[in-house]
Amino acid sequence: RGYDLSPGNHEINAQFNADYGVSCPTANTQNGNGWYYGLDGNPGSGQIDFVTVSSHEILHGLGFFSLVDPSTGAKFNGYDDAYMRLLEDGSTGTTWSVMTDAERQASATDTGDLLWTGSSVTSVAGSFFAGVSGGLVQMFAPATLQGGSSVSHFDTAASPNQLMEPYYTGPDQNLGAAAELLSDLGWTIVGDCAAPNCDYCTGNTCSGCSSGYILDSGGTCGTTCPEGEEGVVDQDVQCQIISGCGDGIVDSNEECDDNNQQDRDGCSRRCQTEESQDA
């Protein structure tokens, strides 16, 4: 299990310019109204949705970035990081963790062929209309390296647009595939479990609720967790049975259930109510 390596320090420090578009208007902000601070994802003309931008930056702080120096391909202090271990170059079929520095450097600008191999993101790749290669979601790797953007975002080819693309594409308060990427990195996703913190189950009944395991809908008890994340084993099975988001039944941990696991239809893939957005 993880633990806080630096309990006396904050995990994320973020600064946002409150004067953006006010005392420092730009060509993209009309009448000096830059940030939109509402929670409904409906900024006015010339405004930038603050919730969208701040969510994007917080996701970076939660691990949506690689510590590899893309300009040299060098690992941070010579070690793999959790993010880079799930990157693969589709041109060679080689993962970043086993590449040389020179190979990683080249892969960082291999447009369309820098791919994410994590199982959770891959499980939703079918919902993309573009930005997928060989069943794997593409990561941002422009031919000309962009410091701070290359590698650590979804590709701009992604359709529908993703919150974690390198550029603001409009208000988007849906985590989209970023939630799955965090799951691949080891985060547990709130809302997937009907009975969280259960580590023992018989049939469809969970008990021994002392340590948590998160499974996607469809997971089953057994010695492996084919559709979810495995945790520390302190009972005779590794999985918990969960309610099925997408089964048309609104369970206690669900806000809605429209009998599918798709976003942008009013009820998200995690069975949470989505804010409607007018075209």
pLDDT digits (tens, 9 = 90+) for 126-138: 989 999 999 999 9
pLDDT value at position 88?
98
End-to-end CA distance of the chain: 44
Beta carbons of 197 and 211 less than 8 angstroms apart: yes
Predicted model pTM:
0.67
pLDDT value at position 277?
43
What average pLDDT score do residues 74-100 get?
96
pLDDT value at position 253?
61
Spell out a b/e string for 103-114, using b for 16 or more CB atoms within 10 Å of the CB, else e: bbbbbbbbeebb
Q: Please indicate whether residue 236 or residue 55 has the higher confidence score (pLDDT).
A: 55
Position 204, amino acid: N
* Token pair for 247: 């089964």
pLDDT tens figures, 184-243: 998 876 543 333 444 444 444 444 433 333 333 344 433 333 333 333 333 333 343 334
